[in-house]
């Protein structure tokens, strides 16, 4: 099977709500896609905005190993000379060796969107393709809404394809722009197009029916050559075909060497990098590259995968640059505890009597509202605290949080202000320190007071920042008396970790999670027992 990978993250993917790439980001994604082995990278629509025009100017100086840059635009406008059409001229000015033209193939769009005749639309296709070919450019035609158009008027849809073929198009890409085609009808349509023309076909599918990947693979197996998609399936509405999933399936399931083994092993890294630049959290449930793709929670599953990994994993996670994870929860068994402890470097062996003790402790804590599968730092501390001789880096003596509402001077806003202040007393070794801090809320004040105390003993702790704070009510019918769970995510700029606390008191739950966060970092950095006296470090 011949397969050509065409990425449109920088154009179609950027149409997803919330995504806006800078030129620098688009250039970096281009480099990464080239390293992955993508054959064509669609950089954008050069006639639509200054940013895309700048991208095409600058990408000429980017050394690419394999990928060819494509520029996207529409056919000439109705009743406009192709030599005077601004979109066509912008394509030429972009310098891209490949021009991808989008053309209407659904008569409904021709009549009611373009407001022109069927014959004029055919002329628009022929003129645009022919002119670009005369200028030395390779041309792909994106046959927009092709499957809807073929269903409504198959003869006209085929005439659009033939118009592009006659004018010199290299490939005609059949687009399921609305994402509504069922797999069987999509395959049947492709076969009817193949019977009518010898042109190479491509496939471009949107995911409105959650079939984009399946339909893309079905099209390739039916004889299409080029497959278009985006990183992580980004795109308008429900998104586009997920190129990360398509590449993994082609390589691992269909035996198509569209990328090398080394390139495939970087798939997870690229997927997460794409999420970072899009300012989106990686989808944990995404096949192959999601953090949950090879995660095991049930005790029976963890036990089996610990003995034979393929018993609950359809491919080795390392092939796509991912890794196996075992969760610890109330559903866990001894195997979960052993595997998770080994993953964290805690050294528990299957015969260690502490395994049962840890398992019982986990189940007990989860019955009280804790949840460790998303807070592995708290789980690690749970195990360490059960070790003989474990000495925590600090101990709480007491804390007090006060929230007051003050009336302010009439000239300063609405006349009222809510103030939060926390005082904390902690002991480090034989020394105790008592500090206070104000904050924009009680948890912020508590965090500030605790840090003020601990940085006197551990100055490097100042690198730790709280980056996310979540509260969940565990039993909504209890109202304000309900048990709450607090999940804190922290970072030192190099590593991220999550901790959990639970209580009927949201301040206390926050305190537990906060203490775990700072204690975990101090333990991981080997600073336990290395505190400096206040004022000396």
The CATH number of whichever domain residue 95 belongs to comes to 3.20.20.70
Residue 71 forms part of a structural domain: yes
- The answer to whether 456 touches 481, Cβ cutoff 8 Å, is no
List, in sequence order, every residue forming a beta bridge with 230; answer none if it has no partner. Answer: 242
What's the mean pLDDT when you consider all of the chain? 90
Average pLDDT over residues 484-499: 91
Is residue 481 pLDDT above 90, yes or no? no
Residue 501 forms part of a structural domain: yes
Average pLDDT over residues 282-289: 94
Residue 112 forms part of a structural domain: yes
325 with 245, same domain: the answer is no
Q: How confident is the model at residue 291 (pLDDT cuts 50, 70, 90)?
A: confident
44 with 157, same domain: the answer is yes
Q: How confident is the model at residue 537 (pLDDT cuts 50, 70, 90)?
A: very low
242 with 115, same domain: the answer is yes
DSSP helix, strand, coil percent of the chain (3-state; round to 5)? 40, 20, 35
In whole angstroms, give the CA distance from residue 156 to residue 116: 14
98 with 132, same domain: the answer is yes
Say how many C-beta atoms besides its own lie within 10 A of residue 85's C-beta: 21
Is residue 528 pLDDT above 80, yes or no? no
| Pick from 49-63, 121-135, 178-192, 412-426: least confident | 412-426
Average pLDDT over residues 239-267: 97
Contacting residues for 354 by C-beta, under 8 A, at least 6 apart: 348, 383, 386, 387
Residue 386 forms part of a structural domain: no
Q: Express as a percent the part of the chain with pLDDT over 90.
A: 68
What is the extent of the structural domain holding 453? 395-524
Average pLDDT over residues 188-201: 96
Q: In 365-380, which positions are buried (b, 16+ CB within 10 angstroms) versus exposed (e)?
A: bbeebbbbbbbbbbbb
Residue 91 forms part of a structural domain: yes
119 with 172, same domain: the answer is yes
In 3D space, the residue among 223, 227, 177 whose CA is nearest the CA of residue 196 turns out to be 223
- The answer to whether 279 touches 18, Cβ cutoff 8 Å, is yes
The pTM for the full model equals 0.74
Residue 319 forms part of a structural domain: yes
In whole angstroms, give the CA distance from residue 207 to residue 240: 5
pLDDT in tens, 459-479: 999 999 988 888 888 765 566
In 3D space, the residue among 176, 249, 250 whose CA is nearest the CA of residue 207 turns out to be 176
Number of domains forming the structure of the chain: 3
Residue 534 forms part of a structural domain: no
What are the φ and ψ backbone dihedral angles of 418, each rounded to 5 degrees?
Answer: -100, 120
In 3D space, the residue among 445, 470, 464, 472 whose CA is nearest the CA of residue 517 turns out to be 464
Residue 433 forms part of a structural domain: yes
- The answer to whether 94 touches 71, Cβ cutoff 8 Å, is yes
> What confidence score (pLDDT) does residue 454 get?
94
146 with 272, same domain: the answer is yes
Q: How confident is the model at residue 411 (pLDDT cuts 50, 70, 90)?
A: low
């Amino acid at each position: 099977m011949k397969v050509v990978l065409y990425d449109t993250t920088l154009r179609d993917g950027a149409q997803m709500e919330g995504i806006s790439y800078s030129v620098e980001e688009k250039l970096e994604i281009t480099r990464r896609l080239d390293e992955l082995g993508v054959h064509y990278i669609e950089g954008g629509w050069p006639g639509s905005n200054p940013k895309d025009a700048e991208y095409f100017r600058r990408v000429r100086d980017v050394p690419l190993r394999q990928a060819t840059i494509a520029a996207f635009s529409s056919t000439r406008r109705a009743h406009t000379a192709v030599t005077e059409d601004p979109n066509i001229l912008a394509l030429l000015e972009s310098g891209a060796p490949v021009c991808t033209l989008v053309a209407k193939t659904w008569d409904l769009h021709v009549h009611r969107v373009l407001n022109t005749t069927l014959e004029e639309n055919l002329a628009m296709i022929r003129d645009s393709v022919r002119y670009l070919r005369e200028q030395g450019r390779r041309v792909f035609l994106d046959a927009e809404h092709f499957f809807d158009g073929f269903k409504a008027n198959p003869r006209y849809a085929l005439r659009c394809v033939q118009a592009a073929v006659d004018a010199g198009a290299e490939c005609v890409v059949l687009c399921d722009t609305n994402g509504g085609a069922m797999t069987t009808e999509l395959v049947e349509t492709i076969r009817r197009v193949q019977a009518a023309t010898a042109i190479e076909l491509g496939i471009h599918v949107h995911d409105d029916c959650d079939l984009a990947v399946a339909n893309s693979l079905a099209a390739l197996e039916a004889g299409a050559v080029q497959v278009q998609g985006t990183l992580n399936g980004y795109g308008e509405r429900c998104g586009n075909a997920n190129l990360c999933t398509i590449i993994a399936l082609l390589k691992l399931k269909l035996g198509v060497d569209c990328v090398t083994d080394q390139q495939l092993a970087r798939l997870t890294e690229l997927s997460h990098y794409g999420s970072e630049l899009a300012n989106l959290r990686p989808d944990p449930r995404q096949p192959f590259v999601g953090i949950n793709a090879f995660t095991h929670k049930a005790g029976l599953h963890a036990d089996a995968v610990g003995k034979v990994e393929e018993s609950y994993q359809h491919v080795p996670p390392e092939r796509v640059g991912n890794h196996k994870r075992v969760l610890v929860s109330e559903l866990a068994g001894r195997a979960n505890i052993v595997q998770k402890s080994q993953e964290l470097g805690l050294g528990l062996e299957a015969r260690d009597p502490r395994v049962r003790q840890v398992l019982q402790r986990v189940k007990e804590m989860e019955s009280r509202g804790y949840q460790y599968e998303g807070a592995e730092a708290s789980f690690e501390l749970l195990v360490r605290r059960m070790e003989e001789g474990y000495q925590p880096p600090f101990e709480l003596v007491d804390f007090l949080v006060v929230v007051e509402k003050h009336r302010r001077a009439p000239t300063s806003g609405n006349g009222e202000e809510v103030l939060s202040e926390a005082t904390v007393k902690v002991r480090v070794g034989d020394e105790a320190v008592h500090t206070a801090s104000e904050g924009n809320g009680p948890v912020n004040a508590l965090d500030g007071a605790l840090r003020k105390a601990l940085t006197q003993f551990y100055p490097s702790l100042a690198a730790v920042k709280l980056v996310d704070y979540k509260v969940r009510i565990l039993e909504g019918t209890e109202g304000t008396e309900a048990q709450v769970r607090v999940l804190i995510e922290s970072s030192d700029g190099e590593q991220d970790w999550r901790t959990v606390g639970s209580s009927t008191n949201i301040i206390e739950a926050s305190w537990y999670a906060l203490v775990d966060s700072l204690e975990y970092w101090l333990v991981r950095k080997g600073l336990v027992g290395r505190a400096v006296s206040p004022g000396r470090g």
